[in-house]
Structure 1
């Protein structure tokens, strides 16, 4: 297989690559949220939906071992291709920091869901969100993302970004319910061996 390139769907570059014989091997998307146009009560309802199931809280460096464990157990579960790949966290830098906040759901002593968010002034972008396999389908991704939105909006963040693979229909539904609006789509393209060269 040839080298892969990620290009915005509908762009001249993508059209040229497709015309030159490139194949679409994955599709991804991006979405934005403006605090001013979202009813924050939807975030409250998402948190309340898991009130009897898990404790929601911001994660700290003291949660390092739990964070690493959940990341290790789910690192192979991210759908899509190079545009949505997730690099495993490392022992040297897995934990929250001033520019990277993390929020999780805990059942007993077990961290079962978490979302990491990169923060830059009044803007933030989801780095990744993951739920332990045995706990999926119970609203935990919605809850931890809602927790992050509420906490960061309260700290002065006004614009949020997120994204993912079109293969993950569940997280698309989660983000739409929380107020995100999908505003961009991307193609991961590859030229097979023997095809004439496309963009790299």
Structure 2
């Protein structure tokens, strides 16, 4: 995508840009979940209802992470604000500050994953993705729920997430988990290009 600008939806500059011919081509959002508003039993049920096994991803799963990432790297809707760059081996390897949770089907194939960056008591979801053949089965909810449960137990109190406002599936998943949308962004391009 050529030149673009990402702004908060209510930014005063937006009206001026639109008056100059800039066009909104994508919308994105940010949302928050605080540990004191988590319904633990509900999240546990979301994990338990998932097909296969939902667990934390370890460094022994890196090849599976890279395989799922390569199969889904073109599937992220939106624009500059929600793009996902293909993972390399380093980025696919979890660490103490970059945790990952996945859904593995009975043949041990990784079919859903979420990566979360940790900074003290704060966690920020970097991305969540589900293999095309496994979408619509609650796996994004399950892996995100697993991350929230595990990280809350370790003292994380504030969870942030975001993505394309055009991605109805992730909006529903975040709503089911209890996230509250508190930011909306627009991506503008000149003259609709």
Q: TM-score range by the shorter chain?
A: over 0.9
User: In the TM superposition, what whole-angstrom CA distance separates every residue of 1:31-76 from its partner, at most 9, and x where no partner exists?
Assistant: 00111122222211211221xx210110111101000000000000
Match of 1:94 among 78, 92, 95: 92
- Judging changes above 3 Å, is the alpha-carbon distance between structure 1 residues 22 and 153 closer, same or farther for their aligned structure 2 residues? same
- Give TM-score scaled by structure 2 length: 0.95
Distance 1:99 1:38 in 2: 22
Flag structure 2 segments of 5+ consecutive residues without an equivalent.
Answer: none
In structure 1, the gaps of 5 or more residues are 196-200
Please report the TM-score for the alignment, with normalisation by the length of structure 1: 0.92
Find the aligned partners of 1:71 and 1:160 in 2 and give their Cα distance.
23
Taking the TM superposition and a 5 Å limit, the aligned residue runs for 1:14-163 are 14-50=14-50, 53-107=51-105, 108-163=107-162
Q: Helix, strand or coil for the counterpart of 1:76?
A: coil
Give how far 1:2 is off: 5.3
Deviation at 1:18, TM superposition (A): 1.5
Q: Deviations over 1:128-160 (max 9, x none)?
A: 001111111111000000000000000000000
Query: Which residue of structure 2 aligns with residue 198 of structure 1?
Result: none
Contact 1:38 1:179 in 2 (8 A): yes
Count of residues paired in the alignment: 192
Moved over 3 A (4+): none
Whichever of the two has the greater Rg, that structure is: 1
Question: Aligned partners of 1:40, 1:14: CA distance in 2, in Å?
Answer: 40
Say what the alpha-carbon RMSD is for the aligned residues: 1.5
For the Cα contact (< 8 Å) 1:7–1:188, is it kept in 2? yes
Match for residue 10 of structure 2? 10
Alignment partner, residue 163 of structure 2: 164
